[in-house]
């Protein structure tokens, strides 16, 4: 019976523990960089470093929680009361400089109360995790995704704060199933069906291919060109970064840091465009033989956004039909052009015919 009680308590407490972890993650700001000249260091250098970085940490937290809404003025002393704990990610002391990277944890209730007084609502469940696919293109043109030699993927996969970003992300494992779903070529060419299938495997709605192109033909000055290619429901802009001022050993680490900073600063969720309303137009088709209408109707049915084709009337010389479609007019004309058809309009009247030199041989050329 005692085992059952313990088991029941674990069931009850596990969701509460998970909720607490999510709260801590949301109100945590990772890797705030601090630099203090050694000749200015105080006896308690940790407390000095915490105080120096707390304002930057709080600004980053508000940026994450409030999507860059204006934050009321606040003193350093008050910010200090918001912090629940700080831990050291890494630190280094040289003859001239003390450097530290600190993780700041803020009290959820105190921060919520502060923002609430400023009429700012916290978006606690704003962002679905993003599937991040880091692809490396080497100097000799090799493209790598799942290979162990893909240093760009390794540094993304080993980043310790994936869950604590404004846009938390997942790097796929690279197991046999992943490799079969998406190849490196699929990723850089943007094969949406494959990318969507992989994202669904990891319960992600969004997928980002982050491409690193390495040029180390000049061993003394290697360059890394970075870009993101976004596939998802939001209109996030693609990013581009060039790094050419770092030793090779620091290229990928610097690239990751700059990419994450730009994502945090520049990406804002944008609602997808409103759906296009269905339209209808009446079209005349000149007929030159008994199979003419059937040939053109067959081509029209290849266009996915044409919802319905209604034949209104037909004689031996012409046919009139009503076309129901859900797209912009220019897009309709473009798709018809791909099918060797031309849609002309004059005074609000539409006429459809074959593109010049593509009409059946029994037809006069349509221009």
Instruction: Report H helices in 190-242.
Output: 192-201
Secondary-structure class of domain 130-266 per CATH:
alpha beta
Query: What are φ and ψ of residue 278, in 5° steps?
Result: -70, 140
Tell me the average pLDDT of the chain.
82
CA distances from 208 to 114, 142, 193, 300 (A): 34, 20, 14, 35
CA dist., res. 279 & res. 190, Å (int):
30
Note the CATH architecture for domain 279-354. 2-Layer Sandwich (3.30)
**Do 293 and 313 touch, CB atoms closer than 8 A?**
no
Q: Which fold has domain 2-117?
A: Thiol Ester Dehydrase; Chain A (3.10.129)
Which pLDDT value is given to residue 287?
Answer: 87
Considering the chain, what percentage of its residues have pLDDT values greater than 90? Answer: 30
Torsion-angle region of 203 (φ positive above 0: left; ψ -120 to 50: alpha; else: beta): left
pLDDT tens, residue by residue, 236-272: 678 889 988 888 888 899 999 888 888 877 666 555 5
More confident residue, 169 or 272: 169
- The token duo for 168 is 């938390």
**Do 79 and 58 touch, CB atoms closer than 8 A?**
yes
Whether the model pTM is above 0.85: no
Which pLDDT value is given to residue 245?
Answer: 83
CA dist., res. 248 & res. 174, Å (int):
25
- The token duo for 18 is 């998970």
Burial category of 353 from C-beta neighbours within 10 Å (exposed 0-12, middle 13-18, buried 19 and up): buried
**Do 344 and 283 touch, CB atoms closer than 8 A?**
no
Q: Is the pLDDT of residue 196 over 70?
A: yes
Domain ranges of the chain: 2-117, 130-266, 279-354
pLDDT category, 18, cuts 50, 70, 90?
very low
Residue identified by tokens 């040939």 is 295
Asked if the domains at 2-117 and 130-266 fall in one CATH topology, the answer is no
Which pLDDT value is given to residue 301?
Answer: 92
pLDDT category, 135, cuts 50, 70, 90?
very high
pLDDT tens, residue by residue, 215-243: 988 878 889 999 988 887 666 678 889 98
């Amino acid at each position: 019976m005692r085992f059952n009680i313990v088991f029941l308590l674990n069931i009850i407490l596990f969701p509460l523990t998970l909720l607490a972890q999510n709260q801590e993650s949301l109100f945590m700001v990772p890797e705030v960089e601090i630099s203090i000249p050694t000749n200015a260091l105080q006896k308690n250098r940790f407390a000095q470093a915490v105080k120096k970085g707390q304002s930057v940490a709080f600004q980053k937290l508000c940026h994450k929680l409030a999507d860059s809404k204006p934050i009321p003025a606040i003193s350093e002393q008050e910010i200090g009361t918001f912090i629940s704990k700080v831990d050291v990610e890494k630190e280094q002391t040289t003859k001239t400089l003390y450097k530290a990277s600190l993780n700041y944890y803020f009290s959820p209730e105190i921060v919520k109360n502060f923002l609430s007084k400023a009429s700012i609502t916290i978006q606690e469940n704003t962002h679905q995790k993003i599937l991040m696919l880091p692809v490396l293109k080497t100097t000799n043109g090799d493209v790598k995704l799942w290979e162990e030699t893909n240093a760009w993927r390794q540094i993304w996969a080993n980043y310790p704060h994936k869950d604590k970003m404004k846009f938390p992300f997942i790097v796929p494992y690279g197991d046999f199933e992943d490799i079969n779903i998406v190849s490196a070529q699929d990723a850089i060419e943007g094969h949406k069906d494959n990318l969507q299938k992989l994202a669904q495997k990891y319960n992600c709605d969004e997928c980002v291919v982050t491409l690193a192109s390495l040029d180390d033909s000049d061993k003394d000055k290697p360059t890394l060109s970075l870009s993101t290619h976004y596939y998802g429901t939001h209109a996030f802009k693609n990013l581009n970064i060039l790094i050419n001022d770092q030793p090779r050993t620091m290229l990928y680490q610097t690239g990751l840091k700059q990419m994450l900073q730009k994502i945090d600063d520049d990406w804002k969720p944008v609602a997808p465009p409103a759906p296009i309303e269905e339209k209808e137009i009446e079209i005349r088709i000149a007929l030159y033989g008994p199979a003419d209408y059937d040939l053109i109707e067959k081509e029209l049915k290849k266009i996915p956004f044409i919802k319905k084709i209604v034949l209104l009337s037909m004689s031996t010389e012409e046919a009139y039909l009503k076309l129901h479609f859900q797209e912009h007019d220019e897009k309709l004309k473009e798709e018809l052009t791909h099918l060797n058809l031309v849609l002309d309009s004059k005074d609000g009247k539409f006429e459809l015919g074959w593109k010049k030199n593509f009409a059946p041989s029994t037809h006069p050329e349509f221009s």
